[in-house]
Amino acid sequence: MDVRSQDAHGLEGLRAERGVLRLATRAMGTRFELVLACEDEPRARAAGEEALERIEQCDARYSVFTSSSLIARANRDASERPVKLDPELFELLQRCQSLCAESDGAFDVAIGPLMRALGFRGQRIDAPRGSSSGSFELDATTRSVRFTRPDTQLDLGSIAKGHALDLAAAVLRERGVDRALLHGGTSSVIALGTPPDHAEGWRVRIGPDGAFEACLRDSALSVSAPRGRTADFGGHTIGHILDPRTGRPVPLGLRAAVVAPSAEAADAWSTAALVLHARGRPLHLHRPADQSWLIEDEGVEPQFWGSRGSFAPHSGLQASHR
Amino acid sequence: MSTPDRRQLLHASAGGAAALFLAPSFELLHPAIVGAPLTLAVIGAGRQGRAILGELATIPEATVVAVCDTDDSRLQSAVRRAQGLKGYASHKELLEKEPGIAAVVIATPTHLHRAIALDCIAAGKHVYCETPLAHTVEDTAAIAAAAKGSSKVFAGGYQGRSNPVYSLARSFFKAGTLRQLSHLRAQDHKKTSWRTSGSTPERDKELNWHLDGDISLGLAGEKGSHQLDVFHHFLGRYPVSVRGEGELRLHKDGRTVADTILLDLRFDDGLRANYSSTLCNSYEGRYELIGGEMALIKLGWTHGWMFKEADAPTQGWEVYANRQQYHNDSGITLIADATKLAAQGKLTEGVGLPYTSLYYALADFVKAASEGKAPACSASEAARSTVVGILANQAVKSGSEVAIDPALLESL
């Protein structure tokens, strides 16, 4: 998925308009971009930069690739002793535990060893034995995390972008920005208010040639597709979305789009929805009531759960997604 | 270290200039703090104050109980982020109502440090004060004098002094690895407006104090003094004069400080330090270079490297070195305690610091305050680099050479 700035109807068109500012930063191995409607450019730029700085801070604290990150610290030491966390990460991990339970283990941040075994996190390691879920515990009194299995590694790859977007959006709101669109790594997007010229909301296309678009207004969208990142495993091309229970990659042809009140929830559930679909689970048992899901599979009619109106046939664009 | 590990390490060790990766010992990497937890308050909840709150929350030996900011929206935002934190609108109220606090961290605008630092020292608190310490020589001297008269710990916020990568690089430097020094160079390049957006336009001016040339030390003081302090720390001496130039290249939004500056500092033996800072372009970010006859040390906050000349003697530890490619220069990356790290399978996973630089600075302060020991950055050291920053900013503003009086620095 991509908010394609080159698209004639896409964000590039917005830049030419007066009172619209675009900012971007590189974080979490990808590019975060922010479009905001503004009257006072220096103030809007300052607010936008602070929002992007919040995303950079998330990257510095949650990346498995940065040795000084809090997550790297936990992965290094939490199997030997409890590691004290800041309130933000502690609460995020609490929510991750809830998500894991609600999704029947389809979402699991303790998926680190599996990701590494399949070659998605640098040097390959041997695959872990058995399930990877439920292998860390949180202690609220000491605000610490401790691994209950020595091979546990946390990997926030399926939630960090959404979480960072929510924090960045909160910074914008605190600074008085009420019309903005932020996307991260072209797979998660959050909308504040509406664009200056579209009262109904920010229209975002799902997939480069996708048949659907979402109209966002103070809501978020996340799209997960195994094709987004692939690796070669034993001569086969596999996608980066795995069932944490079995380690099995979900089929490459799948794509899930989730519209939710927060980018964090959309990010986490778009991954979980794919895994649950691949397991053949009835998705209505798991979908939170305030979310809308779209599952696309090659050669199969698209399936919708929740508000069908969240996804409309693709038309003219504000921003397009690949 | 097993043979396969070593082979793996040396795999990329093709010729060319050598960049030695510097990483500190295990003990330095895992700062152990003993004693009772230290109760702290953070004064100032702006960007730096919030970063400090975030790091202190992960230090087991520190307990933050209160935060203070004159801006209510910032204060409430900080209180919301950390559970059980008490918020105060002024440092005086905080000192009055929280007598049990042992230590404070001051992260307010630079020109407000003096009054707050003096009140906190007078109240018998251990003080960590962000740097530069103050915006005038007079205020800096007043803070330094008060700190020296206190029985409590006073630590300045120049983080190069507590950063283990810098400490390890300094040990190579002190051992004479570079031989005759050739040049010093540092830069801080980042594309940013350096502006803060307040809850109302009226609050903007107050929050953007660093864009007001009357009270701000500009890039030379606010950013440059941190990097020049690295040179002071390594060399153990200070420049005797500074020339500067500054331009407003991009951010023409009413600010009265340059967004791009150059400094040329001269030491008494003719050694020069060049410094460049801009808010218009991010290329190569931030680093310090210390060049010499036999090698050059490059320091980049969480990482450090040494580029050796071809005729430099080979040292024993180089067999444990990783190598990295830098444009035309390929070189060794060295990690101290490489054997131990390799045995734990941790060497090839990335060789940066396990904690942030700010964490080390705050952990050092917590340890110093808990154990009554000297902090890594003393009041005098912080004051001297602050004054160099103040004079460098004067040079940028005047576009002429400014003398740095050794007697003045000595008195601090």
User: CB within 8 A of B142, min separation 6: which ones?
Assistant: B114, B118, B134
B352 → closest Cβ in A61, A68, A86: A68
- Is a pLDDT exceeding 60 seen at residue A129? no
Nearest Cα residue to A156 out of A124, A115, A102: A115
Distance CA B104, CA B64 (A): 9
Distance CA A306, CA A315 (A): 21
User: Which 3 state secondary structure label does DSSP give B132?
Assistant: coil
pLDDT tier, A233 (very low <50, low <70, confident <90, very high otherwise): confident
Nearest CA in chain A to B205: A43
pLDDT tier, A198 (very low <50, low <70, confident <90, very high otherwise): confident
Nearest Cα residue to B69 out of B193, B159, B203: B203
pLDDT value for A63: 86
Distance CA B197, CA B208 (A): 8
Q: Which residues of B touch A72 (CB under 8 A)?
A: 354
pLDDT tier, B344 (very low <50, low <70, confident <90, very high otherwise): low
User: pLDDT digit string (tens) for A73-96?
Assistant: 899 899 999 999 989 999 999 999
pLDDT tier, A307 (very low <50, low <70, confident <90, very high otherwise): confident
Mutate to test the interface with A, among B58, B203, B303 (most CBs of A within 10 A): B58
Least Cα separation, residue B212 to chain A (angstroms): 15
Dig out the tokens for B176 from the structure: 């004479």
Q: Which residues of A touch B63 (CB under 8 A)?
A: none
User: Which 3 state secondary structure label does DSSP give B108?
Assistant: coil
Contact B184, B287 (CB under 8 A): no
How far is CA A70 from its chain centroid?
A: 19
Distance CA B256, CA B247 (A): 10
Q: List the beta bridge partners of residue A222.
A: A188, A258
Tell me the average pLDDT of chain B: 87
What's the half-sphere exposure (Cβ side, CA atoms, 13 Å) at B85?
Answer: 28
A91 touches chain B (CB under 8 A): no
Over the range A45-80, which residues count as b (16 or more CB within 10 Å of their CB) and which as e?
A: bbbbbbbbbbbbbbbbbbbbebbbbbbbbbbbbbbe
pLDDT value for A239: 80
Cβ neighbours around B200 below 10 Å, total: 10
B83 touches chain A (CB under 8 A): yes
Q: Give mean pLDDT, residues B17-32.
A: 50
Nearest Cα residue to B225 out of B389, B75, B21: B389
Q: Which residues of B touch A41 (CB under 8 A)?
A: 253
Please answer yes or no on whether A67 and B356 come within 8 Å at the CB atom. Answer: no
Nearest CA in chain B to A88: B81
Least Cα separation, residue B240 to chain A (angstroms): 37
Nearest CA in chain A to B29: A68
Nearest CA in chain B to A52: B192
Please answer yes or no on whether A87 and B83 come within 8 Å at the CB atom. Answer: yes
Q: Give mean pLDDT, residues B69-85.
A: 87
A45 touches chain B (CB under 8 A): yes
Distance CA B199, CA B213 (A): 23
Distance CA A36, CA A286 (A): 34
Please answer yes or no on whether B354 and A72 come within 8 Å at the CB atom. Answer: yes
User: pLDDT digit string (tens) for B277-334?
Assistant: 999 999 999 999 999 999 999 998 888 888 888 898 887 666 666 677 777 775 566 5
What's the half-sphere exposure (Cβ side, CA atoms, 13 Å) at B389?
Answer: 32
Q: List the beta bridge partners of residue A212.
A: A206, A313
Contact A29, A55 (CB under 8 A): no
- Is a pLDDT exceeding 70 seen at residue A225? yes
B84 touches chain A (CB under 8 A): no
A174 → closest Cβ in B77, B201, B354: B77
B253 → closest Cβ in A42, A57, A123: A42
Q: Which residues of B touch A44 (CB under 8 A)?
A: 197
Q: Which residues of A touch B195 (CB under 8 A)?
A: 42, 45-46, 49
Dig out the tokens for B412 from the structure: 């601090």
User: CB within 8 A of B151, min separation 6: which ones?
Assistant: none
B29 touches chain A (CB under 8 A): no
pLDDT value for A122: 62
Please answer yes or no on whether B58 and A57 come within 8 Å at the CB atom. Answer: no
What are the structural domains, with CATH classification, of chain A? 70-147 (1.10.3980.10)
A72 touches chain B (CB under 8 A): yes
A80 touches chain B (CB under 8 A): no
A176 → closest Cβ in B59, B81, B199: B199
Q: What is the DSSP letter of A39?
A: S
Distance CA B187, CA B298 (A): 11
Please answer yes or no on whether A42 and B193 come within 8 Å at the CB atom. Answer: yes
Q: Which residues of A touch B57 (CB under 8 A)?
A: 84-87, 143
Distance CA B82, CA B64 (A): 9
Q: What is the dihedral of CA B347, B173, B364, B95, to 10 degrees?
A: -140
A42 touches chain B (CB under 8 A): yes
Name the pTM for this structure. 0.86
User: pLDDT digit string (tens) for A7-63?
Assistant: 323 343 344 456 789 999 999 888 999 999 888 888 899 999 999 999 999 998 888
User: CB within 8 A of B50, min separation 6: which ones?
Assistant: B77, B78, B81
